[in-house]
Amino acid sequence: MNDDRPSRPLKIYPRGWRIAHEAPLEGMLAEAALDHPEASAREHAAASARGTWLRLRWPLAFTLAIGSALFTFGAIVLLATSSGDEAGVYVQSALFLATPLLAVLSLGITYGASIALTYRWLPATLIAAGVTLAGATHVVWYRLVDTPVQPAFNPWLPLVASAITILAIGVAVILTPTFTRSGMPRAASVTLALLTGAFTAPMLTVFLFLPFGAPLLALFAITSVVIGHRQSRRHLTF
Alpha-carbon gap, residue 70 to 163, rounded angstroms: 25
Report, in Å, the least distance between residue 81 CB and other proteins.
47
Binding mask 202-221 for other proteins (x = CB under 8 A): --------------------
Report, in Å, the least distance between residue 32 CB and other proteins.
5
Q: Which is nearer to other proteins, 56 or 87 (CB)?
A: 56
Q: Which is nearer to other proteins, 4 or 146 (CB)?
A: 4
Alpha-carbon gap, residue 237 to 55, rounded angstroms: 11
Total site size for other proteins, rule CB under 8 A: 31
What letter represents residue 145's amino acid?
V
Among 131, 140, 212, smallest CA distance to 167 is for 131
Q: Does 184 bind other proteins (CB under 8 A)?
A: no
Report, in Å, the least distance between residue 98 CB and other proteins.
32
Scanning residues 18 to 57, which ones bind other proteins (CB under 8 A)? 21, 23-32, 36, 39, 42-43, 46-47, 50-51
Q: Which is nearer to other proteins, 29 or 214 (CB)?
A: 29
Contacts of 18 (CB under 8 A, 6+ apart): 10
Q: Which is nearer to other proteins, 31 or 89 (CB)?
A: 31
Scanning residues 117 to 176, which ones bind other proteins (CB under 8 A)? 117-118, 176
Scanning residues 70 to 109, which ones bind other proteins (CB under 8 A)? none
Question: Which residues make up the interface to other proteins (CB under 8 A)?
Answer: 3, 9, 21, 23-32, 36, 39, 42-43, 46-47, 50-51, 115, 117-118, 176-177, 180-181, 235-237
